[in-house]
Amino acid sequence: MDFNMKKLASDAGIFFTRAVQFTEEKFGQAEKTELDAHFENLLARADSTKNWTEKILRQTEVLLQPNPSARVEEFLYEKLDRKVPSRVTNGELLAQYMAEAASELGPTTPYDRVLLCCPSWS
């Protein structure tokens, strides 16, 4: 095991300097580092893509894992000769999320174009 004390001290110094800068920026005591407008746009787009992907992933998990209580409810309505209340199915909700994500993100990347195509499959 190679233990380099100089590298450790250097890394600790860099970490401390960045922590101080971040804290000063948050408290308004220092000027915030200005980022390129293109980079800001990419950052916002990446956050939006991440949020929509997580939302679609959660809804996909809901779709793949059957809900026993919904099945019991449908069974009871069937046995009681009552009409099952209409509600959005998990597949329709997933398609809706994909369509909303595609419209928000726009057709600029292959991921966005696939999202545009998917709701038509359901």
DSSP per-residue codes, 5-41: HHHHHHHHHHHHHHHHHHHHHHHTSSPPPP--HHHHH
Q: Which domain holds residue 95?
A: 88-121
Residues 52 and 69 in one domain: yes
Task: Output the pLDDT for position 47.
Answer: 94
Q: Is residue 8 part of a domain?
A: no
Any domain includes 78: yes
For residue 20, being part of any structural domain is answered with no
In a domain, 46, yes or no: yes
Asked whether the predicted pLDDT for residue 33 surpasses 80, the reply is: no
pLDDT tens-digit map of 49-108? 999 999 999 999 988 988 888 888 888 888 888 887 888 888 889 989 998 898 888 878
The answer to the question of residue 108 being in a domain is yes
Task: Please indicate, yes or no, whether residues 59 and 46 belong to a single structural domain of this protein.
Answer: yes
Domain count, the chain: 2
